[in-house]
Amino acid sequence: MLEGVLKEVEAGREWCVNVLKDMVSIPTVNPPGEHYGEFADLASQILRSIGMDVRVLEVPKDLVLKHYPECVEHPRYVVLGRAGRGGPVVQFNGHYDVVPPGGGWSRNPFSPTVSGGRLYGRGSVDMKGGIAASLLAVKSFLASINSFKGSVEVALVPDEEIGGRTGTGYLLNSGVSSPNYVVIGEPSGVNNIWIGHKGAVWAYVDIYGRQAHASTPWTGVNAFEYMVKIAGEFMKSYKPVVEGRRSSYKYSGGVGDRAVVTIGGDVRGGAKVNVVPGYYSFSIDRRVIPEEDVDSVEGELRDFINSLKGKFREVKVGLRVVNKFPPVVTSTNSGLVRVAAEAVRGITNSTPELTVCVGGLDMWYYSVRGVEVVAYGPGPVSNAHIADEFVSLKEVEEVAKVYATILYKLLTS
């Protein structure tokens, strides 16, 4: 019976490419969250056409205002397709928001083109290719298997690119979905399964001096000058300690096992060329390995800031945390990881790597609730967010077969 499902996947190859083209053609750019309603309409039509019941959730505006106030005038939608009844519930999660295209493209980023076995366009690999693979897998499974235990869901969510609190976070907090097993279609590549990801603490160091006229700088306190000094203390005394910490897990690409910190990705302040700046701030992006705890890392940052206050008494210095999420790892002994690895071996004839993603994903929303979750989808991952982004259509089909195999093993055996 599995062979029949896989043949259905092969038969749906052209259908899948057309669906992917349609999705990439909708510029769901985030921020601020453009054309989300258009995508939700398309996704709803597709899900119904493959035999799923569909529910569309509009994210409350006050929740968007709380977490992403700059996006509040752009409605967000979660699209949930479901087939079957009862448990276990196997869910495929995919985020449909994409980063802005930026410059350097040799083609229109939202007019998808196919060339050399690749589909080009913004969001093709991160991660509408994974969504298309899940739709093809579910379509093939439902067309081939008349009776199965439990349920299959497809959850299409916004806002992963800005933290996911109004996407996957809202879906789970709303209580409309309580899956047992989740596969997130992020572009891990066909021979790699992400069993976890690093956590993060994002913060700003705020420096308050005293504004003055630039012709009389001695009457003010230059916040920029002190920002430079404080950032230097981070680079000299904090960064080496953090990056000396190593994780025992295996990471994709063979690197990335360190705890790391990036300073100054965003710098704010100043008023005018002839004004002594009274305020400046710089950002801190602290990536947290699974052996660490995000609350402890936040405390560590606050302790470091407090240690500098006595050294720079002329200014007021504070730490403002704007986002944090924990590192998570799904046990390699979990049922989902074992089934996913077996499925990959069966389709690709190779044993997949089980690694931790160096970036952050929506996995943690499920993991903290005790849900077994992995991330696995078509790549190559190195194409995410770049100009001339593309996805391998061969990998889309292979991943669809892996997804279909996972469904078969979890819901029919």
- Concatenated DSSP letters of 126-189: IIIHHHHHHHHHHHHHHHH-S--SEEEEEEEES-GGGTSTTTHHHHHHHTS---SEEEE-----
Domain boundaries, the chain: 2-197+328-411, 199-325
Q: Which residues of the chain have pLDDT under 70?
A: none
d(CA 205, CA 266): 11
* pTM score over 0.75: yes
Give the per-residue pLDDT at 252: 82
pLDDT value, residue 253: 75
With beta carbons less than 8 A apart as the criterion, state whether 66 and 24 touch: no
* Per-residue model confidence (pLDDT) at position 255: 83
Amino acid at 92: F
- Contacting residues for 52 by C-beta, under 8 A, at least 6 apart: 81, 82, 83, 138, 142, 154
**199-325 topology per CATH:** Alpha-Beta Plaits (3.30.70)
Positive or negative torsion for Cα 239, 383, 380, 142: positive
Question: Which architecture does CATH list for 2-197+328-411?
Answer: 3-Layer(aba) Sandwich (3.40)
Q: Tokens 């298997």 — which residue?
A: 145
